[in-house]
A and B are shown apart, each in its own frame.
Chain A
Amino acid sequence: MSTVIASTRAELLRLRKWPAVWVTLSAWMALTAMFGYLFNYLSYTTGDSSFSNEGATTASLLQEILPGNVPNVLVQGMPMFGGALMMVLGAIVAGNGYGWGTWKTVFAQGPSRTSAVVGSLLALATFVVLTVLATLALCFGLSLLVAAVESQAVTWPSAGDLAVSLGAGFLVMGMWALAGFLLGTVARGPALSVGLGLVWALVVENLLRGVGVLLGPVEAFTKVLPGTSAGSLVGSIVGVGGPDPTPGVLDALTGPQATALLAAYVVVLPVVTLVLVRRRDVA
């Protein structure tokens, strides 16, 4: 156990000082601020209709960017770019170490490979949790700003809604980060794993879902994919359809089904990673 803690501390130190980590996390925060608040606020004030708010009425636009809607804004970008960015993070945390030879150095330090990898996963998870919490703070900050500027009464979301939204956020973002870590481990490098992972998450799953409409077996298969479960869990919170469907947000599974599937991924992905790392030769 002490070697797991030692490994986690070591990984936290090197991740904390890695610019690429901060670039990835900042990109997510910036996208959340833009798609969650900035564009909606601009179209609310100018009355223009942009692709992200097509058909929405002015009043509902304002509602979406006030504090009461924070639980929805927090998670609505996660199925698409949030998950993708976390996958990038996981892939670079695991993958770069093979090219740099740092896993070789780490595996020769003392902790077992299991301890070292679990430490790395815990450090990654720490960053994911902190990122979701920081996003929550960002959302509240921006929505309070909007409320102040527009002289709106502040209505807080219910604690229950917030808790559900946070939990879903941890699960979706964490699952994609773990998937990235596995991909980086399989490919022993960040480039191939990031490339394939993004094509899979952003393109292939969507195409399969399109084919699934026509072919029953494919549809059954698409229901258990990671993107489907992440999109469905978020869909069960923010709602699907309406005049402005958010890309990647689905209703293929119910909330509990999606949660169970995501939880399964969160268990299986690290186990596969560990089995792989323990067996392989590290050059």
Chain B
Amino acid sequence: MNENVVQTRDLTKRYGDRLAVDRVSMTVKRGEVYGFLGPNGAGKTTTLRMMLGLVRPASGAATVLGRPAGTPAVTARVGALVEGPGFYPYLTGRDNLRVMARYRELPDSVVEEALERVDLADRGGDRFKAYSLGMKQRLGVASALMGDPELIVLDEPTNGLDPAGMADMRRLIVELARGGQTVLLSSHLLDEVQEICDRVGVISHGVLLRESTVSDLRGDASLAVRGLPVDRALAVAMRVAGDDAVRVDGDRLLVDLGPEHAPRLTRALVEDGVEVHEVRGVERTLEEVFLEMTREEREELEAVS
């Protein structure tokens, strides 16, 4: 099954003169955890709102579960938490979920189950306005889970959670995906996305910069080398790996070679009289990739203006 659960085509939204979302074309496949990644204000939430039919695109279109976004038949099969949880402050957490269960035409029994899943069962009788930010967030996720929707859209679900709560939330998301539900997760936390997402879309200033698997995005592993003297180590590394494959990073060299080349590189260094202090395989973190990508974009923007 490689069916696309979400597909957007040149989705665009303009607020006055500002392009909030600029021709975003992305796809979310069935059963995956898709990470929608970008800094605050990049256009993530606006894109998600258009996918849910809350906001009308200026141009372009979004298809969810094979139908135009926002049609009632689609919305009923999607669970969503977008831009913070919106609930009635005077109602208890449990009553808030009961109200939403009625809208979804679900029995009250789903409410208890949802509260259990986000660990709020013992606080379900408290009023929503008395909840901490993290509890409000968890109630929002509980509401999105009711009725086992095919697609679950979570906008910054770990906002306001403490580290333990964040870990629980990640575990829950992974569990949902294992159960066959598709999760679309937006986040500005890179390690979170790196840990649990299959594929990511990177958005900045309303533009989808790249969409790929996490491992593709991080690219090939490289070797970090610390050897003295540095200039000689550099010369050897460039001879082994090629002139363009070596960068100096502080007192170490980053060589674009896989870890399997470590023995060969080390031998070459030692044979040329370099004192080798460290040879280590390194993987780029998503954060590095991301910063690189957004920097490139910034430079392009500056070049244009």
Chain A positions within 8 Å of B, measured between CB atoms, are 2-3, 6-7, 9-10, 13-14, 17-20, 100-112, 115-116, 281-283
Q: A14-B99, A108-B82, A109-B104 are in contact. List 17 more A-B contacts (CB 8 A).
A: A6-B102, A7-B102, A9-B102, A13-B98, A19-B90, A100-B86, A100-B87, A100-B89, A101-B85, A104-B83, A105-B85, A105-B87, A106-B100, A107-B54, A108-B80, A116-B103, A282-B54
Q: Which of A17, A19, A115, A282 contacts B55 (CB 8 A)?
A: A282
Of B70-78, B210-218, B246-254, the segment with at least 4 beta carbons within 8 Å of chain A is B70-78
B300 within 8 A of A: no
Q: State whether A108 touches B90 (Cβ < 8 A).
A: no
CA distance A103 to B86 in the complex (A): 8
Q: State whether B105 touches A6 (Cβ < 8 A).
A: yes
**Among A3, A7, A9, A13, residue most surrounded by chain B Cβ atoms (within 10 Å):** A13
Q: Which of B75, B88, B99 contacts A110 (CB 8 A)?
A: B75
Q: State whether B105 touches A102 (Cβ < 8 A).
A: no
Q: State whether A7 touches B55 (Cβ < 8 A).
A: no
**Chain B residues, CB < 8 A from A10:** 99-100, 102-103
**Chain A residues, CB < 8 A from B95:** 13-14, 17
**Chain A residues, CB < 8 A from B23:** none
| Given A14-B99, A283-B54, A104:B86 Cβ within 8 A | yes
The residue in chain B whose Cβ has the minimal distance to the Cβ of A105 is: B86
CA distance A14 to B98 in the complex (A): 9
Q: Which of B49, B84, B91, B105 contacts A14 (CB 8 A)?
A: B91
Chain B positions within 8 Å of A, measured between CB atoms, are 49, 52-56, 72, 75-76, 78, 80, 82-91, 95, 98-100, 102-105, 143
Q: Which label, helix, strand, loop or mixed, suits the secondary structure of the A interface? A: helix
Q: State whether B75 touches A18 (Cβ < 8 A).
A: no
Q: State whether A102 touches B54 (Cβ < 8 A).
A: no
**Chain A residues, CB < 8 A from B53:** 107-108
User: How many whole Å from B68's CB to the nearest CB in chain A?
Assistant: 13
A-B CB proximity, top 7 nearest: A101-B86, A110-B76, A10-B102, A109-B103, A105-B86, A281-B55, A112-B72
Q: State whether A101 touches B90 (Cβ < 8 A).
A: no
User: How many whole Å from B13's CB to the nearest CB in chain A?
Assistant: 9
**Chain A residues, CB < 8 A from B86:** 100-105
CA distance A18 to B49 in the complex (A): 28
**Among A102, A108, A281, residue most surrounded by chain B Cβ atoms (within 10 Å):** A108
Q: State whether B88 touches A104 (Cβ < 8 A).
A: no
**Among A103, A106, A109, residue most surrounded by chain B Cβ atoms (within 10 Å):** A109
CA distance A107 to B55 in the complex (A): 11
Q: State whether B78 touches A102 (Cβ < 8 A).
A: no
**Chain A residues, CB < 8 A from B87:** 100-102, 105
User: How many whole Å from B52's CB to the nearest CB in chain A?
Assistant: 5
User: How many whole Å from B5's CB to the nearest CB in chain A?
Assistant: 16
Q: State whether B91 touches A17 (Cβ < 8 A).
A: yes
| Given A6-B105, A18-B90, A100-B87, A109:B55 Cβ within 8 A | no
User: How many whole Å from A169's CB to the nearest CB in chain B?
Assistant: 28
User: How many whole Å from B205's CB to the nearest CB in chain A?
Assistant: 20
- A selection of 25 A-B contacts at a CB cut-off of 8 Å is A3-B105, A10-B100, A13-B98, A14-B91, A14-B99, A17-B91, A17-B95, A18-B90, A100-B86, A100-B87, A100-B88, A100-B89, A101-B83, A101-B84, A105-B85, A108-B75, A108-B78, A109-B75, A110-B75, A112-B72, A115-B72, A116-B103, A281-B55, A283-B49, A283-B83
CA distance A101 to B55 in the complex (A): 14
| Given A100-B88, A102-B88, A115-B72, A283:B100 Cβ within 8 A | no
User: How many whole Å from A115's CB to the nearest CB in chain B?
Assistant: 7
**Chain B residues, CB < 8 A from A110:** 72, 75-76, 103-105
CA distance A110 to B72 in the complex (A): 5
**Among B91, B98, B102, residue most surrounded by chain A Cβ atoms (within 10 Å):** B102
**Chain B residues, CB < 8 A from A18:** 88, 90-91
Q: Which of B56, B98, B100 contacts A105 (CB 8 A)?
A: B100
User: How many whole Å from A120's CB to the nearest CB in chain B?
Assistant: 11
**Chain B residues, CB < 8 A from A19:** 90
**Chain B residues, CB < 8 A from A2:** 105
CA distance A118 to B88 in the complex (A): 19
